[in-house]
Amino acid sequence: MNDCIVCRIAAGCIPSRKVYEDDLVLAFLDISPVSPGHVLVVPKEHFNPLWNVPDEVLARLLSVAKRIAKAQMDSALAPDGVNLFQTNGTAAGQTVFHVHFHVIPRKNGDGAGWTFPEGAYASPEEADATAAAIAAALEKA
Ligand code: 5GP
Ligand code: ZN
């Protein structure tokens, strides 16, 4: 067993409050939730970051995340909305290095969230060049 905390949870070596499990994925409550009902959806197999996850596994992760979001909405939690959130790298806020999707129930005015700083591009031309750079990289991917 490696020292990855999610692998240990998936193996049952560390307890978790499980809400869903199938052959490929597991979902359980986050230990330090943004809001009540905050769930993590993880592949049972260790993958990191997102772009190393096989498409079949990713499809299942997203399908389960969708179902959990709907279940949160239909549950007694009765949130006003749900965030799907995923981190890759410390710069992006990742602290657990086994791919996971956060499914976070949200209430109007709950104060959670993150800010989008203004002025990410110096000019419209810079935004154009950025779109072209990503498109060019996609051609090679
Ligand atoms: P990240 O910042 O990497 O996207 O999110 C990692 C999440 O894993 C955090 O929200 C954190 O609370 C959660 N977490 C870390 N350790 C454990 C644990 O042992 N059990 C559970 N259930 N959640 C954990
Ligand atoms: Zn792992």
Q: What is the average per-residue pLDDT within 76-87?
A: 98
Q: At 137, is the pLDDT very low, low, confident or very high (cuts 50, 70, 90)? A: very high
Distance CA 56, CA 62 (A): 10
pTM above 0.85, yes or no: yes
Domains of the chain in sequence order:
5-140 (3.30.428.10)
- Which residues face 25 on adjacent strands? 43
Task: Quote the ligand 1 centre to 137 CA distance (angstroms).
Answer: 32
Q: Is 100 a catalytic residue?
A: yes
Q: Give phi and psi for 53, each to the nearest 5.
A: -85, 125
Neighbours of ion ligand 2 (CB under 5 A): 4, 6-7, 46, 98
Q: What is the average per-residue pLDDT within 125-135?
A: 98
Task: Quote the ligand 2 centre to 105 CA distance (angstroms).
Answer: 25
Best-predicted range by mean pLDDT (52-56, 109-113, 118-122): 52-56
Ligand 1 pocket, residue 93 CB under 6 Å: yes
The minimum-distance atom of ligand 1 relative to the CA of 85 is 4
Q: What is the mean pLDDT of the chain?
A: 96
pLDDT in tens, 42-66: 999 999 999 999 999 999 999 999 9
Ligand 1 pocket, residue 48 CB under 6 Å: no
Distance CA 48, CA 34 (A): 23
Q: What is the average per-residue pLDDT within 32-39?
A: 98
